[in-house]
Amino acid sequence: MNRGEGPPTPRYDGEGGTSRLTLAAVRLTPIRKKIPMSTQAPPLTAQAGKISGSYLTTQDGTQIYFKDWGPKDGKPIVFSHGWPLTADAWEDQMLFLSNHGYRTIAHDRRGHGRSSQPWDGHNMDTYADDLAQLTAALDLKKAVHVGHSTGGGEVTRYIGRYGTSRVAKAVLIGAVPPIMLKTGWHPNGLPLETFDGIRAGVLGDRSAFFKELSVAFYGFNRPGAKVSEGLRESFWMQGMMGGLKAEYDCVKAFSETDFRADLARFDVPTLLMHGDDDQIVPFEGAAKITATLVKGAKLKAYPGFGHGMCSVNKGVINSDLLAFIQE
C-alpha cells in the first residue's frame, strides 16, 4: 500500500453464491480512546431510590416496574398483587378508580412480571422494603394500600415494618395473613404438604401447573361457573413472565410468614374482603381470624365468591372498594 492510500477494497472469492471475504491485506489498528468518567454508569448506591421511566431502582439494585395511572394530584391508591401474577392483575380496579379521580399505582413484585429477577430477597421483609422505597420515591402520602393474597401479606408486613405515617387506609383482599400454614396456634391453616405440592408443580412443569391452578383460582370448577378462557390465559401469561427461582421462593414467603405482630400495628381504617368459597386462601383460616387481630377492622365476606373475585366479580369489588375509600 502506498503512503496516503486508503485501506484496500475487500476481495470476495468463490462462485455459486458462496463467498470468502479476504482481509489479509487489512491491518486493524486498535482504537485507544479514554472514556470520560461522565459516561460511565454510576454505582448502585447512586441509582438507588431513583425512578427512570416506569422503573424504580432499589437499594440492592433491583429494578421494580410500576404503573402510575390517573391524575397525579389524585388521592393515591397503591396495589400489591398476588402470586404468581403482576400489576396487570389490578387493571380493572386501577381503571375504575382512576376514572373516579384517583391516582392508582401498582408494581410488579421483584422476580415477577417486568421487574428484574435477583437471586435473593424473595421474602416478606424485602417485599415490604421494596414497597416502602416505591412509596418514598413517589412521595405518596395518605395512600390507601390494597393487597390481594400474597400482596395482602406484603401490605401487612409493610405496615408492620414502617408504620402508617404514609398510610390512610388498608384493604386486604383474599389475603394470606395471619398465616397460611397449619400450626399449633393456627389449626385452621393448610398442611405443609399443600405447599410442597405447589413447589413441586412449579419445579416440574410450571406452565402446565399455572394452567391448572387458574381453574380453582377463579372458581371455574364450581357448578354453573362461567369459564373465561381469557382470564385463564392472562393468569398463565402473567405467571410465566416471572422468574422460576422467585416464584419458587415466594411459596415459602406467602405460606410460612407469621403476620400477627404486623397486624397488631394497624391503626388505620382497614377493610377485609374475602370470598367464602376461596379455594386458594380459605376464609376460615384467613380473614375471619385477621378480623380479630386488627382493631376496628371491617370484615366483608362474599358468599360464593372465589379467590379471583377482583376479576370474576369486579363490578361488586370495585363498588365496595370505592365506597370504603370515600368513607
Angle CA 231–233–237, to nearest 5: 120
Asked whether the beta carbons of 195 and 255 are under 8 A apart, the reply is yes
Is the sign of the CA dihedral 185, 162, 247, 149 positive or negative?
Answer: positive
Give catalytic status of residue 145 as yes or no: no
Give catalytic status of residue 149 as yes or no: yes
Give catalytic status of residue 98 as yes or no: no
Unique residue bearing C-alpha cell 414497597: 131
- Where on the phi/psi map is residue 259: left (φ > 0), alpha (ψ -120 to 50), or beta? alpha
Closest C-alpha to 128, from 316, 319, 261, 239 = 261
Asked whether the beta carbons of 126 and 158 are under 8 A apart, the reply is no
Which entry of 81, 107, 122, 307 is annotated as an active-site residue? 307
Which entry of 80, 234, 278, 311 is annotated as an active-site residue? 278
Which entry of 80, 149, 234, 311 is annotated as an active-site residue? 149
Asked whether the beta carbons of 134 and 166 are under 8 A apart, the reply is no
> Which grid cell is 113?
412480571
- Dihedral pair phi/psi, residue 107, rounded to 5°: -120, 160
Q: How far apart are the first and last CA of the chain?
A: 85
Counting beta carbons within 10 angstroms of the beta carbon of residue 276, is it exposed (0 to 12), middle (13 to 18) or buried (19 or more)? middle
**What are the Cα distances from residue 292, in Å, to 9, 56, 154, 223?**
83, 36, 19, 33
Pairing state of beta strands 55-57 and 143-148?
A: unpaired
Beta bridge partners of 270: 170
Cα separation, 131 vs 273, whole angstroms: 21
Active-site positions read: 149, 278, 307
